[in-house]
Amino acid sequence: MPSSAATDIVSRVEQNWVRCFDERDIEGLSQLYSREACLFGGKPELFHRREGVRTYFGLLAHLPLRAEFGERTVVQLSPTVISSNGYMTFCILDAEPSQSTHPYRITLILVEEDGDWKIAGHHASPVP
């Protein structure tokens, strides 16, 4: 069972991520990631560092998407590393109801960096 503190940390990061994503705040999103972050999202490329995070989310900024995290499992790997594995749903605004939601699996690895929790690893893929 994960510690309550680790779950709270993940919840805060997820809430900030959704807020920034939904507002298309690319700079805010990039600041949620560590300096050396790696991001594998819905694109074939692996994006590195905050510059890569900015590039990745900049490619999505024009899409009418909203995001919502779902069920997850949180594991505190060390005092400064947390793993969160679970699900999220992307909703396409103004789409037909049958095509409006897209479930994804998501893994986030959080690290403590400069006294704050940052996303160091991000992998997301569509649920088959």
56 in helix, strand or coil? helix
| pLDDT (0 to 100) of residue 1 | 44
**Do β-strands 65-78 and 116-126 pair in parallel, antiparallel, or remain unpaired?**
unpaired
CB 110 within 8 A of CB 81: yes
| pLDDT (0 to 100) of residue 15 | 97
pLDDT in tens, the chain (128 residues): 457 899 999 999 999 999 999 999 999 999 999 999 999 987 778 999 999 999 999 988 888 889 999 999 999 999 999 999 999 998 887 756 566 788 999 999 999 999 999 999 999 999 98
Number of domains observed in the structure of the chain: 1
What pTM does this model have?
0.90
Question: Which residue range forms the structural domain that includes residue 46?
Answer: 4-126
Q: 48: domain CATH number?
A: 3.10.450.50
